[in-house]
Amino acid sequence: MIEIKNLTFAYSGGPSIFEGFNLRIDRGEAWSVIGPSGCGKTTFLYLLAGLCQPVSGNILIDNMPVLRPRPRTGLVLQDHGLLPWSTVDENTRLGLNIWEFYGSDGKHAPTDKKIDKTKADQQVDYWLKKLGIHGLKDQYPDRLSRGQRQRTAIARTLVMEPDLLLLDEPFSALDALTREDLERVILGQHHESNLTCILVTHDIEVAVVMGKKILTLRHGFNRKPLILENDCAAMIDNTNQAAFRNKCDELRKVLGTVELNASLNSRTPSSVY
């Protein structure tokens, strides 16, 4: 589904974050992306979402270059991105309203999607109930807890039935029970609809629960992807089992090695690259 070919990216005037980076993500896979703050995790999502463009190289989704945001990609932002003047219900309908406004033009809305008001109402009600916020549908974001705002952001995305779901630190600052509840919702949708999920996190346990494959990024430029295969994904209720703890320890060691190498490389003249 996703092919990243010789990707090089840097913000204007800054050092490269990715350089000659190659990666393939197949349809229906669940990936976690982890690494230290400032290593390019959110940038990686923005590149996939078409919000940033490579300096060189290509990103293809379903063999089509990502030159702008595509209508079948869903992005859940870390700060939720809710409109403060809109209710939970109105925020959840935002994407559907945009689709209806532009029509099935293939740029703002998929060519095979026509908004049916009855179905849209059913979809909105379904996700508000599934995420436990139906009773809050007339509330505004400033009256919601952080977890309720996150649920609203997730509802707004899933109501549009994306084939690719990108999540930027969706569980940060949430209590354990709320986090586990949202993990179940996202993993359930992943399995039910063969949804491709890519989740950015700084939390080792979240990375192991949510990603069948775990991509580790490092400070400095990322050239060769470091991927950890994970057979402990979706073990939400078994995080105390030895297998899960061992996988967390393995990932912790990978992160430590990545940081050590990055530190050593930062002292190496750039000419060696």
Token pair for residue 111? 């060519």
CB 157 within 8 A of CB 95: yes
CB 197 within 8 A of CB 215: no
Neighbouring C-beta atoms of residue 114, cutoff 10 Å? 12
Task: Indicate the residue type of 46.
Answer: Y
pTM: 0.91
CB 130 within 8 A of CB 194: no
Phi and psi at residue 261, in whole multiples of 5°? -65, -40
pLDDT at 267 over 60: no
- Quote the percentage of the chain above a pLDDT of 90: 76
Q: Is residue 30 very low, low, confident or very high in pLDDT (cuts 50, 70, 90)?
A: very high
Q: What is the pLDDT of residues 219-244, one digit of tens each?
A: 888 999 999 999 999 999 999 999 99
